[in-house]
């Protein structure tokens, strides 16, 4: 039987959110889609999805279209429909508590204030699923974090953002190929 993985990037649908810090999860899905030559053209379970082969494995890429705070609805529905075990779910999301360009794979854990992750934990009834945290840094001064995450990345950050997305995509493929422990050992360090 073919192993199937569900890779979900958290973000908000709509052009106005496309390049915001909160959408780095969507950006990662787009980067992985390019590597797999996959197209996210189908709407299923309130998510835009693309299905592609990766060696002997089947990869489902998903961008929930429910807005960040309701992401768990789409993830739960896709897991059930494709009968994917939790250990084959990878949820990629922005993280205010990590410096920009840092990435961290984790086998489980709490939401840490990330509302899309909170929704996912609520809908799945567990914190025990792999996630990829991608640092976006803290807001400057006294800026409201909610406003900060909805700002576009600065033009000056484009090269570093691209390198971070490449490294994050490498980490996802390492996890699929060799398991989360080896992927964490390789990628959970400051670049």
The pLDDT of residue 162: 97
The pLDDT of residue 71: 97
- Evaluate if residue 190 carries a pLDDT over 70: no
Q: What is the tens place of the pLDDT at every residue in 124-152?
A: 999 999 999 999 999 999 999 999 999 99
Indicate the length of the chain as a whole number.
191
The answer to whether 21 touches 104, Cβ cutoff 8 Å, is no
Element (H or E) spanning 147, and its range?
Answer: helix 145-149
The pLDDT of residue 2: 84
Provide the domain limits for residue 29: 4-187
Confidence of residue 191 (pLDDT cuts 50, 70, 90): low
- Evaluate if residue 115 carries a pLDDT over 80: yes
**Separation CA 172–CA 123 (nearest Å):** 23
The answer to whether 45 touches 74, Cβ cutoff 8 Å, is yes
With vertex at residue 168, the alpha carbon angle to CA 164 and CA 173, rounded to the nearest 5 degrees, is: 150
**Separation CA 30–CA 75 (nearest Å):** 17
Number of folded domains that form the chain:
1
**Separation CA 153–CA 20 (nearest Å):** 6
- Evaluate if residue 68 carries a pLDDT over 60: yes
The pLDDT of residue 1: 72
Active site residue 22: yes
Give the domain CATH number at 119: 3.40.50.1470
What the block records as the tokens of 146 is 């909610």
Going by the DSSP 8-state scheme, the letter that residue 132 receives in this structure is E
- Evaluate if residue 54 carries a pLDDT over 60: yes
Q: Is 106 helix (H, G, I), strand (E, B) or coil?
A: strand
The pLDDT of residue 82: 96
- Evaluate if residue 86 carries a pLDDT over 60: yes
Active site residue: 22, 88, 93, 123, which one? 22
Average pLDDT (111-117) is: 92
């Amino acid at each position: 039987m073919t192993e199937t993985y569900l890779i979900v990037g958290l973000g908000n649908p709509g052009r106005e959110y496309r390049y915001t810090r909160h959408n780095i999860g969507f950006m990662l899905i787009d980067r992985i889609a390019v590597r797999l030559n996959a197209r996210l053209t189908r709407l299923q379970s309130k998510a835009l999805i693309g299905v592609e082969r990766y060696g002997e494995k089947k990869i489902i890429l998903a961008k929930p279209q429910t807005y960040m705070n309701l992401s768990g609805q789409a993830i739960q529905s896709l897991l059930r429909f494709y009968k994917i075990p939790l250990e084959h779910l990878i949820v990629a999301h922005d993280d205010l508590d990590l410096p920009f360009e840092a990435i961290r794979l984790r086998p489980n854990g709490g939401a840490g204030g990330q509302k899309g992750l909170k929704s996912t934990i609520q809908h799945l009834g567990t914190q025990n699923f792999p996630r990829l945290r991608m640092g976006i840094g803290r807001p400057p001064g006294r800026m409201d974090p909610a406003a900060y995450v909805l700002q576009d990345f600065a033009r000056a950050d484009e090269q570093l953002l691209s390198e971070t997305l490449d490294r994050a995509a490498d980490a996802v493929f390492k996890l699929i190929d060799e398991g989360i422990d080896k992927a964490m050992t390789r990628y959970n360090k400051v670049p």
